[in-house]
Structure 1
Amino acid sequence: MKGFGAAISAISYYLPPKVVDNRALVEEFGTWTEDKIYQKTGIRERHVVDGELVSDLAARAAEKLFEEHGVDRDSIDFLLLCTESPDYYLPATACVVQDRLGLKKTTGALDYNLGCSGFIYGLALSKGLIAAGIASRVLLITADTLTRTINPKDKSTRTIFGDAAAAILVEASDTARIGDFVLGTDGSGMDKLIIPAGAWAAPRSPETAAERTNKWGNTRSAENLYMNGPEVLNFTLATVPEAVSRTLEAHSLKLEDVDLFVFHQATLLILEHLRKEIGIPPEKFFMNMENKGNTVSATIPMALRDAADEGRLRPGDRVMAVGFGVGYSWGATIIRW
């Protein structure tokens, strides 16, 4: 083992082949325009599953990681899978993926249920496993098929969310290239971004399956994803700037010392509000949701990979990664690329 520091050494991701663009949504709903959807969300198209399971997306992302970066699957000591849409109540989907990938049977594997801040929490867990000497190489996968939970007649969420999986290799390093973490939770906001029914608190029933249409013309049942957009925006503006300040303080840095900021790719509206509130220059603020949509826990690692591929993120750069959303939960850290 190199040491008790931790570093991201590789990222790959997988997008399901089916694409739904804004034109298709306009034709389906007969309201809004392609440009209006883009101006509100920053999204022109999103990839969605067509029957695939989270284990399918996760395994394909991991296989791309092994192939693109020459990673030996036998070197993986631990598999962490972040998902809100597991294949089964039990067993853990991580066990399914371990078998699909042919990882050695001495590999630890577990799921954890978290959404938009899930990548940050996964980095913290990976770093902890390495620091404790439990693992030397952690395969962190963030994967979701959230569009399966969206009512087809709910344009408020269909315009935003897409499906994807990202595979991240976190390994022991002589230097701590993954910094300290600022994490937070406010469960009082749980009902603002939720699938109200379908688990044990509210089992499926004819009542939970009943669809209702709100005054904006969006239809859903209690078994579908619900998001209170204004309240989520208020939470974000109240929480993220402070998290950024605390993260800078924890690393003895100033805003100008950070080379690139990669936030959870929520929507253009939310990200532009945050960028202006915090005072981040546009050239240091990376966004890539235009052709992917909001893919929940996979947005930040996909953005990191794209930023590196585009030359926006270079070796030695300091990047601040910030996740926020469902729970409510949030997290931030500094990564030395």
Structure 2
Amino acid sequence: MIESYINHISYYLPEKILTNDSLAAEFPEWSVEKIADKIGIRERHIAADDETSLDMGVKAANLLFDEYKLGPDAIDYLLFCTQSPDYFLPTSACIMQDRLGLKQSCGALDFNLGCSGFIYGLSLAKGLIASGIAKNVLLVCGESYSKFLHKSDKGNRTIFGDAASATLISNQVNGLAAKIGNFDLGTDGSGAENLIVKAGGMRQPHTTGKEAYDTPVPATDDASLFMKGRAIFNFTSVNVPSLVLKNVVKNNLEMQDMDHFVFHQANAYILNHLREKIDVEKERFPVRMDFCGNTVSSSIPIVLKTLQQEHAIKSGEKIALVGFGVGYSWGAVVIELI
């Protein structure tokens, strides 16, 4: 079988920064220390009013091209993971192909997934390479959840930050050179309404402008993101630990063989709970979200890039990548650094 490798990662963070000091000023009942201790985030980046996930994705991809001296002609397939596209149609990936100057023989598509999106994107890229359809796949993740968040929703506003990432997956070794192993993926659509934006699609094209959810958040309407935190926590606590063990075994490894466990950076409270449940020490469980927040599908590639920049990962190491969230959806894969 043709192998596939994560070779390069770059990411983009918007210029505007929302600090804990700013949030504490808006919500005096929340202290800076309380936000930092519970959530594990000190600041998050917010897209400009005229800046979309597509715009951020283009910037992330161009950063990758510049950083690694890669020409757009090298890309055979573009995958764009977003839940905040510019339009219902055309697909944002088609617009991105043109803006990036990718060749017209390049395939391009959007897929709608959230916090598990990077794992799913890797699985799609691996399939495209294994089947011989593509040699170089550009996986772009971009999300601007801030545009869905109600100004009164202090909980979600402390958690989510906007960002985009670009990852090159190839059939040959180059750059970071992490071989992509076997996947485990899962779906449970019965939890769909526990993390949702109800208005805007064909089921409910327009907002009612009224409070739409059973939530203590004041004035949260159906055009805003709703997250039932306790339900999401319970889903994660039940499904993720078994997912990790199952995937490690599927890759013919044991938990002690793993050098790092890179989870979707949801928030510090959930991550610490999951780390304890899988019984992994902090040294093997990197958390890198304090400077950017929960960036949805970009959180895992941002951690990987940060670890690379810190020289905290090296050849021969094995890393479990684990994503989970909206859908519900979840996924895991083991990568091995060459």
Give the TM bin, normalised by the shorter chain: over 0.9
Query: What are the residue-to-residue correspondences of 1:228-243 with 2, within 5 Å?
Result: 228-243=228-243
Q: What displacement does 1:211 show?
A: 3.9
Could you tell me which runs of 5 or more consecutive residues in structure 1 were left unpaired when the two chains were aligned.
none
Q: Distance in 2 between matches of 1:301 and 1:218?
A: 34
Cα pair distance change 1:102/1:18, threshold 3 Å: same
Within 5 A, what are the aligned runs for 1:258-269?
258-269=258-269
Q: CA RMSD in A?
A: 1.5
Identity %: 47
- Whole-Å Cα distance in 2 between the matches of residues 215 and 184 of structure 1? 28
Residue 201 (1) aligns with residue 203 (2): yes
Kindly state the Cα deviation for residue 34 of structure 1 after the two structures are TM-superposed.
0.5
The answer to whether the Cα contact below 8 Å between 1:155 and 1:218 also exists between their aligned partners in 2 is no
Task: Kindly state the Cα deviation for residue 164 of structure 1 after the two structures are TM-superposed.
Answer: 0.3
Matched to 1:48, the amino acid is I
Question: Do the aligned partners of 1:77 and 1:106 also contact (CA within 8 Å) in 2?
Answer: yes
Q: Deviations over 1:102-145 (max 9, x none)?
A: 11111000000000000000000000000110000000001011
In structure 1, C-alpha distance between the alignment counterparts of 2:131 and 2:213, rounded to whole Å: 51
Secondary structure, aligned partner of 2:222: coil
Residue of structure 2 equivalent to 1:154: 153
What residue number does 1:9 align with?
7
1:34–1:176: structure 2 CA closer, same or farther, 3 Å change rule? closer
Distance (Å, rounded) in 2 between the aligned partners of 1:303 and 1:126: 20
Pairing 1:40-79 to 2, within 5 Å after superposition: 40-51=38-49, 52-79=51-78
State the Cα deviation string for residues 235-281 of structure 1 (Å, max 9, x = none).
00100011001111101111110111100000000000000010011
Look up the SS of the partner of 2:290 in the other structure: helix
In structure 2, the partner of 1:166 is: 165
Counterparts of 1:169-188 in structure 2, within 5 Å, are: 169-173=168-172, 177-188=179-190
Structure 1 distance, partners of 2:134, 2:224, is 38
Please state how far the C-alpha of 1:309 moved relative to its aligned partner.
Answer: 1.0
Amino acid at match of 2:35: I
* Letter of the 2:93 counterpart: A
Aligned to 2:245: 245
Letter in 2 for 1:70: K
* 2:303 is equivalent to residue 300 of structure 1: no
Point out where structure 2 has 5 or more consecutive residues left out of the alignment. Answer: none
Query: How far apart are 1:173 and its partner, in Å?
Result: 3.1
Match of 1:118 in 2: 117
SS in 1 for 2:159: coil
Residues 204-259 of structure 1, C-alpha deviations (whole Å, 9 max, x = no match): 14x2x224797745431011000011110000010001100111110111111011
SS in structure 2 of the partner of residue 5 of structure 1: coil
Q: What letter corresponds to residue 36 of structure 2 in structure 1? A: Y
Distance change (3 Å), C-alpha of 1:33 and 1:72: same
Distance 1:78 1:215, change over 3 A: closer
Q: Does the CA-based 8 Å contact 1:323-1:330 persist in structure 2? A: yes
Q: Note the alpha carbon deviations across 1:163-215, whole angstroms, 9 max, x for none.
A: 0000000001379910000000000000111011221111214x2x2247977
Q: Secondary structure at the match of 1:220?
A: coil
The count of corresponding residues between Structure 1 and Structure 2 is: 333
Equivalent in 6, 23, 26 of residue 24 of structure 2: 26
Q: 3-state DSSP class of the match of 2:171?
A: strand
Report the Cα distance in structure 1 between the residues aligned to 2:26 and 2:213, rounded to whole angstroms: 17
When residues 40 and 214 of structure 1 are mapped into structure 2, their CA distance, relative to the original with a 3 A threshold, is farther
Alpha-carbon separation, structure 2, partners of 1:218 and 1:319: 41
Show CA shifts across 1:148-175 (max 9, x none): 0000111011010000000000001379
Q: What is the one-letter code of the residue matched to 2:146?
A: T
Write the mapping of 1:73-88 to structure 2, written as runs, cut at 5 A.
73-88=72-87
- Structure 1 residues 203, 277: CA separation in 2 closer, same or farther (over 3 Å shift)? same
TM-score by length of 1: 0.96
Separation (CA, whole Å) in 1 of partners of 2:71 and 2:217? 51
Conserved 8 A contact 1:146-1:162: yes
User: SS at the partner of 2:133?
Assistant: coil
